[in-house]
Homo-oligomer: A and B are copies of this chain.
Amino acid sequence: MSEYKQSIIVRCDLKLSRGKLAAQVAHAAVTASDLAGVDAAGEWKRGGQKKIVLQVPDLEDLIELQQTAKQEHIPAALIVDAGYTEIPAGTVTALGIGPAPEEKINKITKNLKLV
């Protein structure tokens, strides 16, 4: 069986600080992992929680990727920031995809750049 992996995708147009970006990525990791369910999440955790952080230019691309994940039946969680610092409340910051088998994740994220 394929290894389980999670991809977390962030908008690079938001110009977040390192700490704020990391918090958004962490939020996406926790939420998408819950969404994937205990079997997928358990498999992923036992394998060492393989994850990668990628970027898209803006909100439109992030939403498009969410739709693609939906079509491919891969769990995907869109993160909306509460907006206490740096950005307005309600800003969509990140998308967590998976954990899911690595080849399914790669299929829809292979053209994205690393952060």
Contacts and interface: CB of A to CB of B under 8 A. Distances in A.
B53 A19 contact: yes
Nearest to A10: B22
Contact of A26 (B17, B20, B25, B54): B25
Nearest to A84: B50
Contacts of A53: 18-20, 22-23, 26
A115 B22 contact: yes
A10 B114 CA distance: 20
A28 to B, nearest CB: 7
Interface stretch (A30-38, A63-71, A101-109): A30-38
Nearest to A44: B30
Contact of A115 (B18, B30, B114): B18
A22 B26 contact: yes
Interface of A: 8, 10, 17-23, 25-31, 33-34, 45, 48-49, 51-54, 82, 114-115
Q: Which 9 A-B pairs have the closest CB atoms?
A: A19-B115, A26-B29, A22-B25, A19-B53, A22-B22, A26-B26, A22-B53, A25-B26, A23-B53
